[in-house]
Structure 1
Amino acid sequence: MDSMLSSIAYPQRLILCRPFLRRAVAKSSKKVDKKTSLSYGWSNQLQTEHKEVRMEYSTTQPSGNCFEEELVFEVTSLYAWLLKLKDQRKRRGVRYPLGLILVMVILAKLGGEDGPKGISEWLRHRIDFLVEHLKLCRRRVPHPITISRVLGWAIDVEQLERLLKEYFASLSGVGQSVLVSIDGKTIRSTIPAGETRGTHLLAVYLPAEGLVLVQIEVDRKENEIVVAPQVLQMIDLQGKIVVGDALHTQRAVSVQIVEAGGNYCWTVKENQPNLRAAIERFFEPEVETPGFGKAISDLRVVRMTNQGHGRFECRTLAVCSVQEGELDWPKAQQVFKLHRRFVYRRNGAEMEETIYGVTSLSAEQADARQLLEINRGYWGIENGLHYRRDVTLKEDYTRVKIGQAARVMATLNNLVLNLIARYGVRYVPEARRKFSAHPDLALPLITRPV
């Protein structure tokens, strides 16, 4: 074993994990003192007093004196981060370590299953693969009820969200895009009978990368306006452009974003009637006053057309700069008017709408065409995140009512979409079919950095 690992040239660290022995050990090409080695315990607590040891990485199955039930993964992988989760179950009667169950659930969700029953059956049909690659010493997988209970009671969802945020922040190339979209979503399967409010989650999303940066729950006694400042404090806004629906067009949030080094681009609707009326006046037809010349205007207009989803669309955006004192809104630099016209190919029906907005971006930072693209980018969170969770991952139809299971499942759905985006496949159903047929392609997304 030692000679084999020492022959590999990659200067990485690995961990050999024994899932059912409830502990993991670090292996090196050199002899390591057990008291000072870097180790993870199945108590899911990272040892605080240790001496880091450089490891040799190997993509081959260890042989020789290596234990058969040892699982190899990198210490910078998703699996290593999941091992930091505190298991809130009592030790008595625990058959599956928390990290192992999460790996199996993530594998099944990558492979196309959404609910506990489907996940358990998917795992059972791939028991040979799990025994070989996860080193299971028993040819059994968790029962659907076990999966539901673990997701509902064993996991601190706040810690899970925090660990996943830190994990993706540690990866190279994450968070390089400029546009940041913020929006909320209610998990409809959590709405009690006769009520209208269920678990509501507010997410920060990067449309260009297809990644969820962070997600927090909105208390039933609050709304997104209260929680938005908190979630924005959790990310680096330097150089970012934050977009959101009209609900987030608030003075305090606008100031917070600009003071943090970013910019905002809001749509303005009836929730800000005075601001909307003031913006509309910027685009009223100019009236010449006798004895005076024509008013000077820097109005700029751009038009774009495209087709898709069974319709033709024409978007026309007019933008005007705002001088100091012209608009009672903090940090405003430009206002815009967006007119959208749709023609449906199926029946020729037409639909039109006009949207007004305000941004802290100056004309030098964003011209009319760039503002049009920024407004299109907002819909990335609807199409790239909410639609995929609702339709592709069937989040609203997956009823898991034990404890925090619904919210944990939503967090895992974000994780699955993030992993698929990092894998490089844009069409999620295609990726899930591929991973279902070849789970060996999905496992490295968990056991190695992506």
Structure 2
Amino acid sequence: KPLLHKFTSRVVAVDGQAVRASKNSIQKNGKYILTFYDTDNGIALGQKLIGEKHNEITYAADMVEGLDLRGSIVTADALHTQEKFAAKLIEQGADYCLAVKQNQKTLYYDIQLCFVDRLETRTLEIEKIELGHGRIETRRISVSPGNTLKADHLKKWIGLDEGTIIKATTEIVDKTTGQISSLDRYFICSLNWFNTHIAEQCARSVRRHWGIENDLHYVLDVDFFQDRTQCKNANYLQNRTLLHKWALGVIRQAQKEEENNTGKTAKSVKRYMAQFNAPSIALDALTRIIG
């Protein structure tokens, strides 16, 4: 709690991460850690050692009850697009934005059809030019009322009758070759269609989900060497990964404090890790941040 700051409709991303060095003859990819990650605060709210990837479906809904997610938008990939999970989030006072792929075939194709025959759609176009990567990336978010779906879907997905369905299109132009690639993704969302800035809210929710991959999982593997943690003891692995996330949360807050005080980009995670090797500096930072 001391590390958390209040945001309007903060986005909490849910995803599992494999600790590959923990693999064995049974678990070929290693054990998985399921995490609820506050993408706005840069804080892991909770985690669970789940063993196999498919176990995420069972544990995600159960973890919702132990977390304060009121007022947040919870995002997840298609594995978690489950009726029980969505219902638990609504019950706890949160909204959901869940990816829909062909593992939910009927829902997936019906959403596609809604955008083909759309009569009432709000579209937000966001263009981002990344010169450093030699490409032009255009992101388009199209939002339609959830009640354009068939009644069967609305009965299954609590909150969708007043919510939205989303089509997110990413188009990338290679500036060197001129080659164009495009990808469409679809989502169901309980955010109310009549919200004034619904397209902007949906765009932010879809985009912020990547924070759990880029800002958490990648950093844990690269800077904390978590992917190389060789361990057969489940309790040790659970506690070790939890401490990694806690330490990263402290560093994130130290970075925000530095940027607020200096107006410049903060030092990297690696530099903070080296700096906090000195106990006096680490304790001083903890006192200020948690204080």
Shorter-chain TM range is: 0.7 to 0.9
Aligned pairs, number: 270
Candidates 327, 340, 351, aligned match of 2:170 = 340
2:58 counterpart SS class: helix
Q: Are 2:194 and 1:364 equivalent residues in the alignment?
A: yes
Matched residue, 1:321: 145
Pick the structure with more helix per residue: 2
Q: Calculate the TM-score normalised by the size of structure 1.
A: 0.55
- 1:377-411 CA-to-partner distances (Å, cap 9, x unmatched) read 10011111111111121111233445633332211
Matched residue, 1:392: 223
What is the distance in 1 between the residues matched to 2:233 and 2:25? 16
* 1:200-239 paired onto structure 2 within 5 Å: 200-220=32-52, 223-239=55-71
Matched residue, 2:281: 441
CA contact (8 A) 1:181 1:205 kept: yes
Matched residue, 1:45: none
Matched residue, 2:121: 299
CA contact (8 A) 2:32 2:53 kept: no
What is the distance in 2 between the residues matched to 1:283 and 1:374? 19
CA contact (8 A) 1:420 1:431 kept: yes
Give identity over the alignment, percent: 27
CA contact (8 A) 1:190 1:199 kept: yes
- 1:112-140 CA-to-partner distances (Å, cap 9, x unmatched) read xxxxxxxxxxxxxxxxxxxxxxxxxxxxx
CA contact (8 A) 1:199 1:407 kept: no
What is the distance in 2 between the residues matched to 1:405 and 1:394? 15
In structure 1, stretches of 5+ residues that fail to align are 1-168, 287-296
Offset of residue 414 of structure 1: 0.3
Distance 1:299 1:325, change over 3 A: closer
In structure 2, stretches of 5+ residues that fail to align are 257-265
CA contact (8 A) 1:302 1:368 kept: yes
Matched residue, 2:74: 242
1:423 counterpart SS class: helix
* 1:137-156 paired onto structure 2 within 5 Å: none
- 1:320-344 CA-to-partner distances (Å, cap 9, x unmatched) read 1133773514221211111101234
CA contact (8 A) 2:114 2:149 kept: no
- 1:151-191 CA-to-partner distances (Å, cap 9, x unmatched) read xxxxxxxxxxxxxxxxxx2x274464621111111110101
Distance 1:325 1:391, change over 3 A: closer
Greater Rg, structure 1 or structure 2? 1
2:243 counterpart SS class: helix
Matched residue, 1:379: 210
2:123 counterpart SS class: strand
Per mean C-alpha deviation after superposition, the further-off stretch among 257-266 and 381-390 is: 257-266
Distance 1:269 1:221, change over 3 A: closer
CA contact (8 A) 2:14 2:35 kept: yes
2:209 counterpart SS class: helix
Structure 1 residue runs of 4 or more that deviate by more than 6 Å after TM superposition: none
CA contact (8 A) 1:175 1:206 kept: no
What is the distance in 1 between the residues matched to 2:177 and 2:283? 47
What is the distance in 2 between the residues matched to 1:423 and 1:251? 39
Matched residue, 1:354: 184
What is the distance in 2 between the residues matched to 1:347 and 1:398? 41
Pick the structure with more strand per residue: 2
- 1:180-224 CA-to-partner distances (Å, cap 9, x unmatched) read 111111110101157524211111111111000111111449611
Matched residue, 1:432: 273
What is the distance in 2 between the residues matched to 1:285 and 1:325? 11
What is the distance in 2 between the residues matched to 1:439 and 1:210? 23
Distance 1:274 1:344, change over 3 A: same
What is the distance in 2 between the residues matched to 1:254 and 1:434? 42
* 1:390-429 paired onto structure 2 within 5 Å: 390-401=221-232, 404-425=235-256, 427-429=268-270
What is the distance in 1 between the residues matched to 2:199 and 2:243? 38
- Give the counterpart letter for 1:192 in structure 2: N
1:429 counterpart SS class: helix
Distance 1:184 1:301, change over 3 A: same
- Give the counterpart letter for 1:430 in structure 2: R
- Give the counterpart letter for 2:129 in structure 1: Q
2:41 counterpart SS class: coil
